[in-house]
Amino acid sequence: MLHSLLSGDYPRSRALTVVLVAILIGLALAPFIFPGTRSLNVAAKVAVFVLLVASYDLLLGYTGIVSFAHTMFFGIGGYGVGIAMAKMGSGWGALVFGACAALALSLLMALAIGLLSLRVRAIFFAMITLAVASFFQILASQLSSLTGGEDGLTFRLPELLRSRLVSYYLVLGIALTLFLVLLRVVNSPFGRVLLSIRENEFRSEALGYRIVTYRTAANCLAALGATAAGILYSIWLRYTGPDTTLSFNIMIDILLMVVIGGMGTMYGSVLGATIFVLAQNYLRDLMKLASDALQGVPLLPNLLHPDRWLLWLGVLFIVCVYYFPTGIVGRLRARLR
């Protein structure tokens, strides 16, 4: 059963297996092990971003496509639910309609972007996706009567989901299920073709595979994954806005998570998202403790001041890239070999 559940793709490293099991147990028992609103928010964000990063890794790590439109699809998911719930009420019908409309719109946009743009060179495709994502972000800010503008939209959920415990396990359950679906995709014959295209697209084309078709399909699957993550995030926050889903900073964060965890490894998205989200939320607190403990020591309290947490987050990223050029998962698997 485990073989089928993981699609035959085991972690292949004892240390990696232990870490992944610890993360899974931590997320599953987060409401009881880590009481408090902040801890639960962090756990929910980890679950959502694991799915978001995994969907982007399908593009970057497995297909070799660099896209800057991933946060646009993330935002479409958030705004689809937000607009439907704000305009149609807090019933299940509005929630399902908003989610389905967001998934349909993302699929159409991903299909259009893929068919029209994936024939060009990689750098031009990246620029096209950046332009489309920027246009969508501006559109969301300008259509304030529909999207709430810069303030975003706050909405109410169906009564069952108003319980934080229920909504958390809904988010975690769907995120885990979709992650396993993506794991199945990359370990299927379709996933093998994507890896072949990433390594040598000319050889793949010579073997008879239609490169644009496979790349477009991968782009659509990744877009649907990002949209689902946006839907889950808006359900958890009960709010959607440009800063929470459409910001370009989120795109940079996704790239960092993919690189830290390891490109071309779905398990890397779990490690990358967990480490990055925890660092974002708790690095400042750890630095404050260290700064207070080192009072009286020259220079160190100022270097470790909580206001400099972004500097040390950058240092942490540089160290990870230097010591783990293939990501943490790649390094652990290389040690096993």
| Pairwise pLDDT comparison (22 vs 302), residue with the higher score | 22
Average pLDDT, the chain: 89
For residue 330, the surrounding DSSP H or E stretch is helix 327-336
Q: 15-28 pLDDT, tens per residue? A: 889 999 999 999 99
* Helix ranges (DSSP H) in 187-210: 189-199, 201-206
What is the percent of the chain where pLDDT is above 90?
Answer: 46
Residues contacting 166, CB < 8 A, separation 6+ = 160
Tell me: pLDDT of 172 over 80. yes
From residue 31, give the alpha-carbon distance in Å to each of 43, 212, 295.
Answer: 9, 45, 35
Residues contacting 63, CB < 8 A, separation 6+ = 194, 197, 198, 214, 215, 218
Q: How confident is the model at residue 121 (pLDDT cuts 50, 70, 90)?
A: low
82-86, 184-188, 190-194, 292-296: which range is least confident on average?
Answer: 292-296
From residue 204, give the alpha-carbon distance in Å to each of 66, 111, 114, 196.
Answer: 19, 21, 18, 6
Name the residue among 313, 154, 304, 290 with its Cα closest to residue 234. Answer: 154
Mean pLDDT of the 278-303 span: 82
Q: Quote the pLDDT of residue 254.
A: 94
Q: Quote the pLDDT of residue 272.
A: 93
Q: Quote the pLDDT of residue 71.
A: 94
pTM of the full structure: 0.93
Tell me: pLDDT of 122 over 80. no
Q: Quote the pLDDT of residue 243.
A: 87
Instruction: Give the count of alpha carbons within 13 A of 138, CB side only.
Output: 6
- CATH for 10-336 is 1.10.3470
Tell me: pLDDT of 198 over 90. no
Q: How confident is the model at residue 179 (pLDDT cuts 50, 70, 90)?
A: very high
Q: 206-256 pLDDT, tens per residue? A: 888 888 889 999 999 999 999 999 999 999 999 999 888 888 889 989 998
Q: Quote the pLDDT of residue 337.
A: 58
Q: 252-269 pLDDT, tens per residue? A: 899 989 989 988 889 999
Residue 11's SS3 state is coil
**End-to-end alpha-carbon separation of the chain, Å?**
26
Mean pLDDT of the 67-87 span: 93
144-153, 189-198, 282-291, 298-307: which range is least confident on average?
Answer: 298-307
Q: Where are the domains of the chain?
A: 10-336
